[in-house]
Structure 1
Amino acid sequence: MISVPPRLRARAAAVWGAEGARWADALPATAADVAARWQLTLGPAYPPSLNWVARARRADGTPAVLKLGVPSAGHLAGEAAALAAWAGRGAVRLLARDDERGALLLERAEPGGTAAALVPADDDAATDALIAAIRRLHRPAPPGVALPELAARRGAFAANLREWPGSVPVPLVRRADALFGELVAAPTGRVVLHGDLHHDNLLRAGREPWLAIDPHGLVGDPSYEPAALLYNPLGAAAGAVGAVDAVALLPRRIERLAAGLGADRDRVVAWGFVQAVLSEVWTADTGGPPDGRPLAVAEALLPLLR
């Protein structure tokens, strides 16, 4: 039997209410059931976030990762659809899925270790690894792919202003909302997006030098993709030893991303601002502890907007 970390139980209840609490209560039984049906030997769990994720080994000895989440939330279905569309190109492979139980079986990237370990000592190498991943992942969205549109994320700004006004500075939320509308109205293409590609979601691997994990799964403008990495890696708390000063790294990151992706610099800046504000909105709206580093990046990018 697995144990459910108190932090995971609390986060599930905070985000999904009673349903999240019921999911956490049923998690040991769900894990045991899925492991039996997929013939898995479960190993140690990874640090908890919004899902329960653990090392696993298949019947043939192949290493894998088992990921369980609240089934009705739909986020694991989006992850599965994105991974299926990429079919192992630039990302871990999807080995099996069970939408009814909110379960995914994934390729394990080995030796592992994230691109965050390169920052700040070799931030250029980390940025280049993310650029290479984006170039591998971005392919035209196949017809009928079961993924939401990037444009759907815009609704979070209006919800924040309506339900939690002032939790994020209102002028920034309004500016990000308007800019989001302008950017999605004039996309530079339409591809399958990771939607949360940053240093902690890129792992060292053997099959390819780096493989992406944990995609949100979206369809939309490719120039949106590097936005999340501008305020990452978060790692240590702001002001603590080991915290990354993302603001100081911004100018070089922006120039390197624009050159490496063949992207318009102004769009890199604009999407970076929008996503940094959106990150703060998500945190505020789900009751997460304030961090402030995405907000600091947004404020640093604000004078660069055109």
Structure 2
Amino acid sequence: MADITLTPGFRRTVEQTWGDTGRAWLAGLPGLAAGLMADWELSPAGPLPLSMNWVGRVRRADGTPAVLKLGVPESGHLADEATALECFAGRAAITVLARDDARGALLLEEARPGTPATSLTPRDDAAATSVLIEVIARLHRPAPDGVALPELSGRIRSFRGHLRRFPGDDPLPRHLVERAAGLFEELCATATGRVVLHGDLHHDNVLAAEREPWLAIDPHGVVGDPGYEVGAMLYNPDPHAPGDAVLDAAEARIEQLADGLGMPRERVVAWGFVQAVLSEVWSCEGDGMVSGRPLRLAHRLLPLLP
């Protein structure tokens, strides 16, 4: 049976995000994990860090390593993740070995050694950015007709919901949210393509591997403008850490992304600003608190907007 020891932080995140549904899911997690281990003929092989979902290393019946990932089924997050990974078909991303949407379960390829691209940033930020550019170039393909993924344009609801909930400048300056919302709609309306997006591509979600040099993990799975992909990496890695070394590298990253992806610099800046504000809007959805660095990035990028 899998070791499903849960950290207090993980429990708190699940309960704050999904309320009673999350608490019920946590209570049933031991039985759920045991059932899947039996059904998929898995044996436990070690823990992994927990965030929004439960994950653990496992071995399949033939001895090959894999990762078991479990999430609240009602959220639909893991179903979107699986669909996106299936669209990527192993190009610069891990593969789906099995899925059970009703039980909110995925069996995934394990990227080994699994060192994140974060490891490159302290000594060579440009090298880390090059890795992310290469991954984007391999991931992006036109979205298949009828693909069961949400449209990027639907994320305007997060901006509108924030503006309704918070009429003033607390917890976020209202003018920034209004500017980001308007710019988001403009960028979606002028999309240069319609691709399956990872949706949360940054240094900690790109791991060193053997099958390919680097593989993406944990996609949100969304369909829309290719430029959206660049935003998250401008305030990562570790957006909650103190210090602004990452922000000091933002302009160099913007230039490298624009050149490496053949994208107008002003569009990279615009998507970076929009995603920074959207990240803070999402942070506010729970407890009304901002995380900090994305907001500081938005302030830095505001004067650079066209």
After TM superposition, the score normalised by the length of structure 1 is 0.96
Find the counterpart in structure 2 of residue 230 from structure 1.
234
Deviation at 1:235, TM superposition (A): 6.1
Deviation at 1:142, TM superposition (A): 0.7
1:291 paired with 2:295, answer no
1:204 paired with 2:204, answer no
Q: Secondary structure at the match of 1:141?
A: coil
> Counterparts in 2 of 1:179-258, with a 5 A limit?
179-234=183-238, 237-239=241-243, 245-258=245-258
Find the counterpart in structure 1 of residue 132 from structure 2.
130
Runs (4+) of structure 1 exceeding 3 A deviation are none
Deviation at 1:164, TM superposition (A): 3.7
- Name stretches of at least 5 consecutive residues in structure 2 with no aligned partner: none
Distance in 1 between residues matched to 2:216 and 2:113, nearest whole Å: 14
Paired residue type of 1:33: G
Paired residue type of 1:53: V
Q: Tell me if the contact between 1:45 and 1:52 (Cα under 8 Å) persists in the aligned partners.
A: no
Q: Secondary structure at the match of 1:53?
A: strand
Distance in 1 between residues matched to 2:154 and 2:290, nearest whole Å: 24
Check 1:113–1:236 CA distance in 2 against 1; reply closer, same or farther (3 A cut): farther
- Name stretches of at least 5 consecutive residues in structure 1 with no aligned partner: none
1:32 paired with 2:29, answer no
Q: Secondary structure at the match of 1:100?
A: helix
Deviation at 1:43, TM superposition (A): 2.5
> Counterparts in 2 of 1:22-101, with a 5 A limit?
22-101=24-103
What do the CA deviations read for 1:68-127 (whole angstroms, capped 9, x no partner)?
000010010100000011111110000000011100000000011100111132100100
Find the counterpart in structure 1 of residue 21 from structure 2.
19
Q: What is the aligned length? A: 302
Distance in 1 between residues matched to 2:263 and 2:15, nearest whole Å: 40
Deviation at 1:288, TM superposition (A): 7.5
Distance in 2 between residues matched to 1:151 and 1:143, nearest whole Å: 17
Deviation at 1:257, TM superposition (A): 0.2
Percent same amino acid at aligned positions? 59
Paired residue type of 2:285: D
CA RMSD of aligned residues (A): 1.2
What do the CA deviations read for 1:241-262 (whole angstroms, capped 9, x no partner)?
xxx6222001110000000001
Distance in 2 between residues matched to 1:253 and 1:190, nearest whole Å: 24
Check 1:83–1:279 CA distance in 2 against 1; reply closer, same or farther (3 A cut): same
Deviation at 1:47, TM superposition (A): 1.5
Q: Secondary structure at the match of 2:106?
A: strand
Q: Tell me if the contact between 2:67 and 2:109 (Cα under 8 Å) persists in the aligned partners.
A: yes
What do the CA deviations read for 1:33-91 (whole angstroms, capped 9, x no partner)?
11110011123221111100111110001100000000010010100000011111110
Q: Tell me if the contact between 1:3 and 1:28 (Cα under 8 Å) persists in the aligned partners.
A: no
> Counterparts in 2 of 1:158-169, with a 5 A limit?
158-165=160-167, 166-169=170-173
Distance in 2 between residues matched to 1:221 and 1:236, nearest whole Å: 27
